[in-house]
Amino acid sequence: MNTTVDLHGLTPPDLAAHLRQNGVTVTDAETRRLMGWAISQGRLDFDQMPKPVPRRVRDALGTLTTAHRPRVLERVTDPIDHSVRYLFEAHDGKIFETVRIPLHKENHFSVCLSSQAGCAMKCDFCATGRLGLLRNLTAAEIVGAFCAVRDEAPGRVSGAVFMGQGEPFHNYDAVLQAAAVLSHPCGGRVAQKSITISTVGLIPRIEQFTKEGHKYRLIVSLTSAIDEKRARMMPVAGRWKVAQLAQALKARTQATGRRATLAWVLMGGVNHGQDEVEALKTTFAGIPLRLNLIDINDSRPDGYRRATDAERNAFMDALQILGMPIVRRYSVGQSEDSACGMLAGKASAALDDASGRALQAAPAL
């Protein structure tokens, strides 16, 4: 029985295997040309290829493959940082976001990708966490969103980061497959070292990621080095101690020879005290690290507040004792309240409100 797969989720070897399993004779060179046309060039008019593959192969694509991109519901451009946040709708109506981010190099961009519609991690400071998990995205949906954003970029997309909606390691197989497509010369043409995958710290997956020898960058969202505090803000953290996470990162640095990167969402009055510095010093001693500081972007009136300049500067000064690079990262989309999860949250609320009004207006049976 023939099965249909979406081209956006395939590398050339995957396409070759799929066609051959369905009785279509194809060469590796032919599948490279097909995928280069479909993914690298973003075109599906295979008859127009400069060097077309045999018609029997092109005809087989029509019955054995599809090529769908999620529908763009909204684009929001931030007037300050010039990021563009896309709100996408999947085939089943699920909503997720992707962001085009300008890089320092002129006319170069990175794309921040979601791995799930919603998220199950329930981090207290994250708008996406308040949505709950709706479902995992497929590799094809992730790559389809990337291609849609890339094809509108006024320059080259040279990077991709899995730091949008969802926990990438909670959707491990699809994220790694999407990364394989994005980094393939006939796919997204993004260097492996320019693809970053973020995690809240799912230790078994970090260990698997290390064992499999992936060359993509890894960022671990730490936010607090104190177990009790971290577990309150990031419930999944209660499953593992910070010391266990440190050991997983130590093994990774030994395997890769590179620093581990920690992301620290900075919140005023919460996680910038001397106690955090001491916990970092004790728990991560001897592990080569880089710390990325990211200001909280919380639109709730009762939410966390951004650290003041004085709080941030004092924390950065205190961190110098650790002897690690400290990098301040900026959360894009702040002026438009369009940080990850905010647009999807607004859209979901609007849909819920519309559904409620429709129910109220419906005649009684």
The answer to whether 180 touches 12, Cβ cutoff 8 Å, is no
- Per annotation, catalytic residue among 112, 126, 186, 340: 340
Three-state secondary structure readout of 12-57: HHHHHHHHHHCCCCCCHHHHHHHHHHHHHCCCCCHHHCCCCCCHHH
- Per annotation, catalytic residue among 30, 89, 97, 186: 97
Farthest CA pair distance, the chain? 71
340 in active site: yes
Angle between helices 55-64 and 12-21 in degrees, nearest 10: 90
SS3 label, residue 91: coil
97 in active site: yes
Q: How far apart are CA 138 and CA 159, in angstroms?
A: 20
Give long-range contacts, CB 8 A cutoff, 24+ apart: 80-83: 80/334, 80/335, 81/330, 81/332, 81/333, 81/334, 81/335, 83/332, 83/333
SS3 label, residue 301: coil
Q: How far apart are CA 49 and CA 43, in angstroms?
A: 9
The answer to whether 219 touches 46, Cβ cutoff 8 Å, is no
Question: Which positions ≥6 away from 198 have C-beta within 8 Å?
Answer: 161, 162, 163, 168, 218, 219, 220, 221, 263
Q: Tell me which residues are annotated as active site.
A: 97, 340
